[in-house]
Every structure is written in structure tokens, then in C-alpha cells.
Amino acid sequence: MAPGGGICKDVIESRITFAEYDMATSSAELRGSPLRKAATSLGGNLGATSTNDVHELLECPVCLNLMYPPIYQCPNGHTVCSICKARVHNSCPTCRNELGNIRCLALEKVAESLELPCRYQILGCHDIFPYYSKLKHEKNCRYRPYHCPYAGAECSVTGDIPFLVVHLKNDHKVDMHDGCTFNHRYVKSNPHEVENATWMLTVFNCFGRQFCLHFEAFHIGMAPVYMAFLRFMGDEDEARQFSYSLEVGCYGRKVTWQGVPRSIRDSHRKVRDSQDGLIIQRNLALFFSGGDRQELKLKVAGRIWKEQ
């Protein structure tokens, strides 16, 4: 035996004994703690835990969404997200103790080590993201559901494009047309009574894609106007592949507009308020309507084409 070998062996055995003691102590302390799963996932004798268990641990018990810093905990270790902390009036939703402002720094740290799939994986997104990058990605994920583009009421339905096309046809009874050119007439018996109005949405099937034609009456400042614009049922990068023109006219005069359709990712109100479309003052719209100018009978012609 080499000199000092016995001493070295004793030191090693001593360290093993203390390590086992520390692990036993940690196990006892974690047994009743909500951080137990997180601790076990980092290794040790408590057993292997899957990422799904940690994912479950990071779910807020109130809204069931994943929690992001700041994550709060009560004195008993129960956690809640910062948004729901205000909703529950600073009372722990699990044990009803006062929450206070105790941060669960350990859980926030555990989250940094995770990589999770996008929540829209089932819709086609197969990318994996670090926990704190996941939320930012999901806000702009190309596979996230679209909101219903119907403008007559705030419809809460979401889904992919084929689903929304069926929804618009069956539930909103919108006009569906095939072709890339159109000539629509918008009628109102007493246009002076119109403060804010929205006409029925029209959907065009063109180049194998769908486009929504909107026509609305509102005010820009004190001036009553009508506005027509087109939205594309798809993402913004796809919308840029197309252009469209709108035209109104009568008596040898006409007003035209040419632009790029906006994606339905932008709400109809956002597009309208940005004035990104054909805008006609009410007096001019009545002039183009002909007759005694007491009734709106405005024809809007348009064309959609694909950029090369």
C-alpha cells in the first residue's frame, strides 16, 4: 500500500457518507415542496423526471399558462404567475395564505435550462425553443391560428384558413365569388344617417387563395367618408406576392387606388384606421352614385393580380 493510502480511503468514505446525508436531507425537505420535480430533473438519487413534469410544474395553477418571470410563491412554496397574482388579490390559490412579493428564483432558474416545442406543434411548427424564447416565437409563429376576418361583429372564432373559409360561408353567410376581377355596388337609402357602418364582407377565390373585400363608412376627423380595402387570408409575406386596384367613377371622372392587400393578421379596424385603401368623401360618393345624390349607389370595380 502506498504511504497515506489508508488516510485517502478514509477521506473518500467520509465524503460519500456526507453526500448521502445531504441527499437524504434534501429529499426530506423537497418531499412536500412544489420544487421537488424540478430538483429531481437536475439529477441525484431522487429519480429521473421528464421535461413534461417540469413543464407541468411551470404551469400557473390559475390560468394554466406557462409562467414567466417574475414567478411568485407563497411561504408554503406554492407558485402563481404575475398576472394571476393580481387576479387572486394576493391570496395563494392553493393554500389561501398571503402571497406577498416572494420570487421563486429557483423555478425561474430551472426554466432557463428547458427547451420546449412550440405550442402550435400540432398545426405544423416543429421547432424547439429555449423556454424564455418560446413565448416570443409563439406571438409571431406562422402556424398560429388566424382570427375570423368578419368585420360585422367581433367574432372570436380562430382557426386555419380552410376552416375559416367554411366558417365565413356557413356561419356568417358571406358572399363567395370565384375570379380576380369584380364589380360591386354598395347601396344605402339614407347615407346621411350613417355614422359608422360596415357592409357585408365579400370573399374572392383567386389564384387558389382567398381575399376579403371590405366596405365601411366612418369619420376621419369631422369628415364622413367611405372606404374600400382588401385583406389577404394568409400571412404578410404571402400577401406581398399580390397587388390589387379599386376604382369608382361616373360622368367621365374616376378615382383609383392601387396597393398590396393586408394580411388578416391585421384586424379590419387596424387597416381601416391606417387608411390603407380607397377612401372617398361622402359628397363625392353621392356624386358618383348619380341621380339626386340622396341615395348611395356606389359601384366599386377591382382587380387582383400576382406579382412576378
pLDDT tens digits along 90-103? 889 999 988 888 89
Type of residue at 250:
C
More confident residue, 58 or 5: 58
**Omega before 70 within 30 of 0, i.e. cis:** yes
- Confidence (pTM): 0.68
- Rounded CA gap, 172 and 149, in Å? 11
pLDDT digits (tens, 9 = 90+) for 237-271: 999 999 999 999 888 888 999 999 999 999 888 99
- Rounded CA gap, 24 and 65, in Å? 33
Architecture per CATH, domain 146-306, reads as: Sandwich (2.60)
More confident residue, 137 or 251: 137
- Cell 417540469 locates to 54
Beta carbons of 111 and 131 less than 8 angstroms apart? yes
Element (H, E) at 44: none
pLDDT at 303: 96
53-113: CATH homologous superfamily? Zinc/RING finger domain, C3HC4 (zinc finger) (3.30.40.10)
